[in-house]
Structure 1
Amino acid sequence: MRKFFIVTAAAAAFVAIPAVAQDNGSAASDGARTSRLEPYVGVMGGWEQFDNERNAGIPQSPNRNDRLNGALVQGVVGVNATVAGPLFVGIEGNVIKGVSGDIDWEYGAAGRVGVRAGQNGLFYGKVGYQWANFDKFGDNSRDYHAMTYGAGVEVGTKSGIRVRGEVNTFGAAHSLRPMAGLVKAF
């Protein structure tokens, strides 16, 4: 049921964000964005590997060399708000599906803060909360959860399409999740 709710919420946000963005500002004569709010959606892919340590916030494998890991596809939806000049803050939600390896689903939310670089670039840090579920422990395995921290960069065109590169962790740096993909700002 939880997975159905997450997928439904993501689909609703994907449909609603362009409608909200239509009356959210305009472009200056040079093409620069004058809007204070910038909703966006994106799709990314990457890899995550968890530590195999006691007290890491996730289950420990009996084999010390066996670490929970896998390839991932991630959907993101969020909004940025300009604070002053190039500074912005934002909120973002994500849903991640493991496509190979031990990870089944992940989902979470984070706040972002960063600076704009030129008209279409962003540098940011983020902090939030993430839940993870692993295929390795069967269909009824529980969700493991912890704070998540990350940093990233986006570069793009005036059309609002940006390439994003990002690295996140789970808990106190108990995983490494590099991701890359495309984001469309409205």
Structure 2
Amino acid sequence: MKKIALFAGMAAAAVALPTAAQAQQAEPFVGVSGGYHDLGADDVDEEFDIDVEDSSAILGIFAGADFAAGSNVFVGVEGNYHFGFSAIDSEYGASARLGFRDAGGAKYYVRGGYQWVDLDVAELTGVDEDIIDDLDIDDTGGDYLVGLGAEFPIGGASLRVNLDTIAFDTIRATTGVAFNF
């Protein structure tokens, strides 16, 4: 159900973007990113004396568009999908961006949205995957995302860095390359 809501939101944005683009010049982008996501489950280690591996490297894609909202101010939308290498199977979400562009073309922004995370419970807890499957545990969770980011132009692309949190429970740092067109 959550995936349907995400795709419905992305479809609505896809319909709204061309309308907004007619009103002002859109700056679409796509890119690849990688990083590290700490799920913040360290207190489980202490409270239950369980060794929880709660962090994962992530690698994925993103796409979106920015729109001028003044001489140096912009607003934008972005969607992302990443897959993980240990505690996280995958994560995906959408966010809105608000920021400004400096004289050199670099963009600095805040963003907010919603992010879902599909966990690898067996990897997270160290419990055998067959046991986890038998328990029929819902391993997908989602909550609001807030973050900060910056993009630095390099030719027709941009180098970007983001620092996000999901509900102020996790910390996710990513870097990537955005291709502007």
Q: Which range, TM-score by smaller chain?
A: 0.7 to 0.9
- Taking the aligned partners of 1:156 and 1:147, their CA distance within structure 2 comes to 28
Task: Give the drift of 1:157.
Answer: 2.9
- Taking the aligned partners of 1:41 and 1:132, their CA distance within structure 2 comes to 21
SS of residue in 2 equivalent to 1:84? coil
Aligned counterpart, 1:176: 171
Equivalent of 2:41, from 52, 70, 95? Answer: 52
SS of residue in 2 equivalent to 1:101? coil
Aligned counterpart, 1:31: none
Q: Which runs of 5+ in 2 are unaligned?
A: 123-131
- Taking the aligned partners of 2:94 and 2:40, their CA distance within structure 1 comes to 22
Task: Give the drift of 1:142.
Answer: 3.1
Paired residues for 1:54-69 under 5 Å: 62-63=48-49, 66-69=52-55
- Taking the aligned partners of 2:110 and 2:88, their CA distance within structure 1 comes to 24
Equivalent of 1:38, from 9, 27, 30? Answer: 27
Aligned counterpart, 1:102: 87
Task: Give the drift of 1:38.
Answer: 0.3
Task: Give the drift of 1:118.
Answer: 2.3
Identity of aligned residues (%): 28
- Taking the aligned partners of 1:158 and 1:117, their CA distance within structure 2 comes to 16
Q: What do the CA deviations read for 1:34-78 (whole angstroms, capped 9, x no partner)?
A: x72100001011001112278xxxxx5644662511000021000
Amino acid of the structure 1 residue aligned with 2:101: R
CA contact (8 A) 1:127 1:149 kept: yes
1:116 maps onto 2:112 in alignment:
no
Aligned counterpart, 2:119: 134
Aligned residue pairs, count: 155
- Taking the aligned partners of 1:63 and 1:148, their CA distance within structure 2 comes to 29
- Taking the aligned partners of 2:108 and 2:114, their CA distance within structure 1 comes to 20
Q: 1:105 to 1:42 in 2, by over 3 A?
A: same
* RMSD of Structure 2 on Structure 1 (CA): 2.9
Q: TM-score, normalised by structure 2?
A: 0.74
CA contact (8 A) 1:70 1:103 kept: yes
Q: What do the CA deviations read for 1:65-93 (whole angstroms, capped 9, x no partner)?
A: 62511000021000100011010000000
